[in-house]
Amino acid sequence: MTAPASASPASPPKLEIRHLNKSFGTGAQQIEILRDINLDLAANEFVSVVGTSGCGKSTLLSIVAGLETFDDPSGGRDYSPVRIDGAPVFDAGLDRGVVFQSYTLLPWLTAQQNVEFALQAAGMEAAERRRVAEEHIALVKLERFANAYPSELSGGMKQRVAIARALSYRPKMLLMDEPFGALDALTRQQMQELLMQVWEQHRLTVLFVTHDVEEAVYLSDRIVVMGIGPGRVRETFRVDLPRPRTSEIVETEEFLALQHKVLKAIREAAQRLPG
């Protein structure tokens, strides 16, 4: 039995994943994707998940988001391997804000309206919706583009709207799957800095999937390395670099040493035999 990749033993976990298993397909076609994933995130913790392509990072995040099913040994009873604040997760919900790599904005609505639309789904009345959407558009520094449509926005701007939208209904957690993966290097760096500022202001609990080890070290409190065949948590690294972090930190010896260790762990986890 694998011990959970634990946050801080003192604080109750915001997110608790226990013995999570996931297979796709049935019978002879069945493929085991995730095996016995155990992971805790403390409140306000920023945790990144890294690992070789196909190890199940996105599947894990989708299960936490309630967008993908898990293997249920109870045969459909009230069982969930995922808990938020102790409550079992079965479906998608407004307690989790989700940001994907692909831009998921509604093209017929402006930036402001995209945020308002989410708030309408959350049951907020019109004047309050407008105020909260404006506040979050300002948070991601897009005031001048509030009335622009997605087709008029750059990739980075669209992701800023997606982040504003995900934060606007005050979720307990932010789940991000390669949110900056499609952006050029400079925009990506700007978005990382923006996310850090927002995170430091709001102190959200974040589960972040990335291929980019430098990004993981720069942003995270902890980094979880997954291995493949099937996907499992292989190693966890605490990032003890001081905050607030600036872009210069990536050139420090401590940063580079940790980046090197994580890369080595990913390589080793990708080569380990199942079991």
Ligand X SMILES: Nc1ncnc2c1ncn2[C@@H]1O[C@H](COP(=O)(O)OP(=O)(O)OP(=O)(O)O)[C@@H](O)[C@H]1O
How many other CB atoms are there within 10 angstroms of residue 145's CB atom? Answer: 19
Identified binder of ligand X from the candidate list 11, 12, 24, 200, rule CB under 6 A:
24
| Rounded least distance, CB 119 to ligand X, Å | 30
Which residues make beta-bridge pairs with 83?
A: 16, 88
What does the per-residue mask of binding to ligand X show for 185-214, with x meaning CB under 6 A?
--------------------------x---
Nearer to ligand X, 24 or 79 (CB): 24
29 forms part of the interface with ligand X (CB under 6 A): no
Alpha-carbon span 64 to 186, nearest angstrom:
30
Does an H or E element contain 88, and which? strand 87-88
Residue with tokens 């998608």: 92
Establish if 33 lies at the interface with ligand X (CB under 6 A): yes
Q: Edge-to-edge strands of the sheet including 232-238?
A: 96-99, 173-177, 205-209, 46-51, 222-227, 232-238
257, with CB counted inside 10 A (0-12, 13-18, 19+), is exposed
Q: Binder to ligand X among 7, 39, 50, 55 (CB under 6 A)?
A: 55
Nearest approach, Cβ of 214 to ligand X (angstroms)? Answer: 16
Q: According to the binding rule CB under 6 A, does residue 58 interact with ligand X?
A: yes
Minimum CB separation from ligand X for residue 211, in Å? 6
Quote the CA–CA distance of 253 and 206 in Å, as a whole number: 26
The residue from 56, 66, 81, 227 that contacts ligand X (CB under 6 A) is 56
Residue 54 found at the interface with ligand X (CB under 6 A): yes
Query: According to CB under 6 A, which one of 53, 74, 151, 201 is a site residue for ligand X?
Result: 53
Q: Would you say 205 and 173 are in contact if contact means Cβ atoms under 8 Å apart?
A: yes
Question: According to the binding rule CB under 6 A, does residue 57 interact with ligand X?
Answer: yes
Contact footprint for ligand X (CB under 6 A)? 24, 33, 51, 53-59, 211
